[in-house]
Structure 1
Amino acid sequence: MACRPLFMPSLKGECLSREMDIAFEWVPGRDLEQKRACIVSWHAAAREQAGIENILEISTRSENPLGRSLSAFNLALSIPGREDPVTVECAYQGSKVFEHGGPFTDLLGVSSWEAKKDPRLTSSGSIT
């Protein structure tokens, strides 16, 4: 079993969303089919536990094109002083500061996958 948050819009009060932890059967593995099976399992648990039918999975593994385009690996930002847009993933990884290095702003100019896998992110000590 695993647990993952479900974020739902809230129409009452000052907070615009509410969060509920959903317990579901985890499907291990790195293959695309296994990741999608895990998503299907989580969606089924969310329907059962929260009564939610229409879930927008925001990830690169989403079956919904909107969910894929909104993932941190695909959603791009305009950064002042940069000509090209930067993905949220690259901005996140490139802005981290560690005990022995960072921020690694050169990661703003690579692909999201390259930024996430950069060895400096795991060899520069703890995040400060």
Structure 2
Amino acid sequence: MTGRLVVGLGLRADTSEADILACLDEALAIAGLSGEATPRLATLASRIGEPGLAAAAVSRAAEVVGVPDEALKGFEASCATRSTRIASLYGVGSVAEAAALAAAGPGGTLVQPRIATARVTCALARSSS
């Protein structure tokens, strides 16, 4: 596989680093990518300051990218899953999937649809180069 792996995250306020990393590791395992570097974590711009997210990024040596709510909507057709609650809030079926695709850039592809735990959703995309 070519291109950089990008992690899209949907998370509740005050989600811990441990919860984020557990969901991320589960998504990587399901995708058969355990141990692969995840240099970019993407989520809602409004969640960018979450301490658990910052700690998870440090532990994985990852950049954090905040995606504006409006930018997510452009990825609705590319989302593999749909949450009615999230769609009513953000206009897209999956924050995690849309954020991963947005941060992967043009030509990015979804490689793992979102998985969900109690406080986190996680999806994986790969950039085209």
TM range (shorter): under 0.3
Q: Normalized per residue, which structure has more helix?
A: 2
Q: TM-score scaled by structure 2?
A: 0.26
> Could you tell me the TM-score, scaled by structure 1's length?
0.26
Of structures 1 and 2, the one with the larger relative CO (CA 8 A, separation 6+) is: 2
Highest Rg: 1 or 2? 1
